[in-house]
Structure 1
Amino acid sequence: MSTEGRTAEASIAPLESAGFVRIVARADGDALAAAGLLARALRERGTPFQVTVGHTVTERTERASATEPEADDATIVVGSADADGDAVRLDATDRAATLETVELVREFGETPDYVLALAGLVAAGSDPGAGESEWLLETARDRGLVESRPGVAVPTADPVEGLAYSTRLRAPWSGDSDAVSDALAGLDLPEPGALGTDDRRAIGSLVALETVGAEDATDRSAEAIGQALQPYATPESPFATVGGYADVLTATARTEPGTGVALGMGHGVDRAALEAWRTHGRNAHAALDSAAASRHDGLVVLELEDGPVETVAELAVAYRSPEPAVLALGDGEAALVAADVVDVSIEAIARTLADETGDAVAYDDGPRRGYLRYDPDMDESTITATVREFR
């Protein structure tokens, strides 16, 4: 969902001379990668810092101004916020925060973690090496940090676990490791550590066929699964592929932001991050399986009993929705995700809901998504009607 935003004012003077830097990040994989890249650069320079995550514009604004800053303190906000004018803001709607941060890190004279940067770009919805990020991919390749191979972009070496809990794809067996094992049984695969090129190619082919061939798959499924195939392997990373790394960043950002921050900073929380990713993927697919759906002109509405609303909406719009946008309604929160960038202000939706109900409504925004947080007692039909009004 597009909103007014501005890219970071590229001068790093406030950060270079800072005695302490407060980093406030949006709750998504792109922002976590950006925060991690910046934190690593500050650590190399010996500059004290703090990283926190805010899921809404209001939370980020509050965190950015939580304490009275010292004269040499600096604040950088990744995502939209009504922050103080002195804060460096990375809130462009047309460019990944990761790219903005890579530029800042290089201006510091530090070398960014190229694999983390590529994972952040994928989490932002970009293809590795596309457009202005081409040099990032080429540098990572030249240094042996990534290599293209057949297969599917998952974070684990074990294809069963990787496919079962990935939120980059949606197949009939998604969320169920036993069902994945059954689906792969006919391929006669070796142990995960012994998978060869032909084995990975066979896995990729089966996943593609079962994804687009699912009974309720939509035409967009072919494009969506294409982005998860032919991954970039990461031999020196804690995760098997760039796309898998991105999936873990996104999962932790939405469910365990503290773990996600530590992951982005390179603090060796890989096991905890993978566990959060497993739980997130399992819950997202289960929620989509059990969701009550209604179809409107240009919009599918999903009523969830439980589950991460943003991830469910993303999966639905990519693989299941016959309409170009999905509104997922949870307990006191909702996500609106579109197949393409559209000119809809999630802030306007939030303000209208607040005016109509008299309740506070918090929000977050992005190029193709919006997030709302509201009183759980709010009538869901009011939310649906308001969203439809703005589409």
Structure 2
Amino acid sequence: MSTSGRRTADGHAPDASDVAATLRESEFVRLLARADGDCLAAAGLLAGALAERGVPYQVRVGRFGETLADGDRDATVGVGLDPSADAHLPAEATPASATAFDAAGDLDASPDPALALAGVLASDAQPRDRAVRVREAARESGVERRPGVGVPTDDLADGLAHTTLAHADYSGDAGAAQATLAELGLPAELDESARRTVASEFALAVTGGPEATARAAEAVERALRPHALADGPFATVEGYADVLAAVARERPGTASALALGHDARTDALDAWRDHARAAHGALRAATTARYDGLFAARTDAAPVETVARLLRDFRSPEPVALVVTDEEAAAAATDERAIGAAMTDAVNAVGGVGGGTARRGYARFDPETDAKEFLTAFREANA
């Protein structure tokens, strides 16, 4: 087994050339990817490079706290998971998809810049300007920014209702989104002026509600002035990123197929819609409580990681948002606060598995566990 991609003696993660070296020397590779849009895109880019070289591979998808490696002697690449793998793309300081794009280039492959940019846009990594080469390659391939909202479908009502890039009054309800659009008097063929009108309405719908936070005005920007895709599986790269992120958690197999370039668009959009309806519905129905530095939401079964991000960006007056159901929890922070360590400590206190990064965390525990017990444990660990 190659070990060229392991962490260096000073603890830094390997760069793209190290990852490429591991792949170049391997006869079979297992890609162990975290279930999010950035890591799935990265796995797809590395898988594409391996396929071009005729190297067989397998993609496995999991969440924080899960062990995907099985002790075999094949080369392993951890993408957001398993730092003990032969190569590890941590997906924190730099989007994993940006590192994977560079690694694929080092292998003389032809990575898809739209997929790479979708991964970058799906990432919570800061700062994103470390993905300069991805953005340049996307522009060279014909990807251009335009006015409007970044949705995956040409049907605007469908896109606005089911995007998880932001939360508005009509989120999750295509009929309500269609009624809002009807009031704008848009032309049948949208020109730049019409797209700006839609973007303005969407931004107002996201930021103008009584529950919207000041942070919402900044967070909604990720959905505006999208990168249009003339030739791709979705209408915009932002929409591509949204679908990847949602489907990675809703149906990991479908997300893997999408990232690997298979014809999974219809199934992916169905999963995206289901995920969005559940996430937006849970955000509305949740019972919330505010603590010093923490805004917690208690709800029934829900896509907790997506709800935690939406809560953080559009509803939380505190820097850390936590969502807890009967058997899952997720947290998201506005900056680096050792959220993963706090999640690990909390889930260890009640029994279960979990983990995360400095800004994100996920945990799964026995449904017999009292959710209040988990919340208390997380508050203490996050203090």
Q: TM-score, normalised by structure 2?
A: 0.92
Q: 1:5 to 1:387 in 2, by over 3 A?
A: farther
For residue 353 of structure 2, what is the aligned residue in structure 1?
Answer: 362
Residue 176 of structure 1: how far off its partner (Å): 0.6
Q: Distance in 1 between matches of 2:376 and 2:42?
A: 36
Q: 1:51 to 1:379 in 2, by over 3 A?
A: same
Cα RMSD over matched residues? 2.0
**Deviation digits for residues 276-296 of structure 1 (CA, Å, limit 9, x no counterpart):** 101100110011111111111
Question: 5+ residue gaps in structure 2?
Answer: 1-9
Q: Distance in 2 between matches of 1:94 and 1:29?
A: 16
User: Contact 2:301–2:325 (CA<8 Å) still a contact in 1?
Assistant: yes
Residue 175 of structure 1: how far off its partner (Å): 0.7
Identity %: 43
Stretch of structure 1 that moved more, 169-178 or 75-84: 75-84
**Deviation digits for residues 31-58 of structure 1 (CA, Å, limit 9, x no counterpart):** 000000001111111111110101133x
Residue 174 of structure 1: how far off its partner (Å): 0.8
For residue 172 of structure 1, what is the aligned residue in structure 2?
Answer: 169
What does 1:305-316 align with in structure 2 at a 5 Å threshold?
305-316=300-311
2:235 counterpart SS class? coil
2:183 counterpart SS class? helix
What does 1:298-337 align with in structure 2 at a 5 Å threshold?
298-337=293-332
1:171 counterpart SS class? coil
What does 1:1-391 align with in structure 2 at a 5 Å threshold?
6-8=12-14, 10-11=17-18, 12-57=20-65, 59=66, 61=67, 63-64=68-69, 66=70, 68-69=72-73, 73-81=74-82, 83=84, 87-125=86-124, 130-144=128-142, 146-191=143-188, 194-342=189-337, 344-354=338-348, 356-357=349-350, 359=351, 361-389=352-380, 390-391=382-383
Q: 1:108 to 1:336 in 2, by over 3 A?
A: same
1:187 counterpart SS class? coil
Residue 302 of structure 1: how far off its partner (Å): 0.7
Stretch of structure 1 that moved more, 133-142 or 250-259: 133-142
1:337 counterpart SS class? strand
Q: 1:353 to 1:119 in 2, by over 3 A?
A: closer
Q: Distance in 2 between matches of 1:137 and 1:230?
A: 15
**Deviation digits for residues 197-256 of structure 1 (CA, Å, limit 9, x no counterpart):** 111111001111121111211100100112211111111111111111110010111110
Letter in 1 for 2:170: W
Stretch of structure 1 that moved more, 293-302 or 160-169: 293-302
Q: 1:329 to 1:142 in 2, by over 3 A?
A: same
The size of the alignment, in residue pairs, is 371
Q: TM-score, normalised by structure 1?
A: 0.90
**Deviation digits for residues 132-151 of structure 1 (CA, Å, limit 9, x no counterpart):** 3223222322231x111100
Q: 1:227 to 1:137 in 2, by over 3 A?
A: same
Residue 258 of structure 1: how far off its partner (Å): 0.4
Residue 92 of structure 1: how far off its partner (Å): 5.0
Residue 367 of structure 1: how far off its partner (Å): 3.8
User: Contact 1:5–1:92 (CA<8 Å) still a contact in 2?
Assistant: no
Q: Distance in 1 between matches of 2:71 and 2:378?
A: 36
**Deviation digits for residues 366-386 of structure 1 (CA, Å, limit 9, x no counterpart):** 342100111111122221122
Q: 1:126 to 1:160 in 2, by over 3 A?
A: farther
Q: 1:44 to 1:78 in 2, by over 3 A?
A: same
Q: 1:219 to 1:5 in 2, by over 3 A?
A: farther
User: Contact 2:215–2:313 (CA<8 Å) still a contact in 1?
Assistant: yes
Question: 5+ residue gaps in structure 1?
Answer: none
